A and B are shown apart, each in its own frame.
Chain A
């Protein structure tokens, strides 16, 4: 079946540091890949997505590239802010019923 493995946290960075959160997946066919973010006390929000190999998703300074050869979708940001502190989830969607499969989430804390 489909599965997502993402870097375990927590990750603690200083403001303006470079961020990488690793994500790899196992799936049949050609899944779509997503990063969701969950701010404290709020629901999940879609951060970015990519639907085919070599696509790059980007939003709010975050980027991730769909790498089929390495089955990866690592999240990066060049300069994090305190407001980026949240839990980040990597997810894939495959199959005919649009079911999302999530990783366990990575807690990011950015200190001023």
Chain B
């Protein structure tokens, strides 16, 4: 089965510009996650969707970051305006509950590396 797809792989912008990232999860996965991974740190959850509804966006800087998953499949993450400290790798992951509930595995995409100058 195809993995989680993300684009673009790399993006360089100047501060105060806007940027958008796209994610296509594994087919059939209802849960989608966006993580921010700053150099030298572990990934930090920005937002979690269950189908097209938001489950957790407590660490999303809502003054500049937004995300949507309108049809419950693909998702976009936008930053407007970007700051220098937004330079990071943005990872998308998806997961599916097992039949009857219980544990699930998150599958990660290759990430989008953003550099803000």
Q: A and B bound?
A: yes
Judging by beta carbons under 8 Å apart, are A44 and B108 in contact?
yes
* A82 interfacial contact with B, CB 8 Å: no
Q: Which of A4, A51, A89, A99 has the most CB of B within 10 A?
A: A99
Say yes or no: is A46 at the interface (Cβ < 8 Å to chain B).
Answer: yes
Chain A binding surface SS class:
strand
Q: Point out residues on B near A: beta carbons under 8 Å.
A: 3-4, 31, 33, 40-45, 48, 55-56, 91, 93, 95, 103-111
Residue in chain B with minimal CB distance to A95? B56
CB–CB A104/B103 < 8 A? no
Contact of B105 among A46, A97, A99 (CB under 8 A): A46
**Residue from B4, B42, B48, B95 in contact with A105 in the complex, judged by beta carbons closer than 8 Å:** B42
Q: Given contacts A43-B91, A104-B42, is CB(A98)–CB(B110) below 8 Å?
A: no
At the interface, yes or no: A59 with Cβ under 8 Å from chain B? Answer: no
Contacts of A45 in B (CB 8 A): 108
Interface string of A66-108 (1 = CB under 8 A from B): 0000000000000000000000010100000111101111000
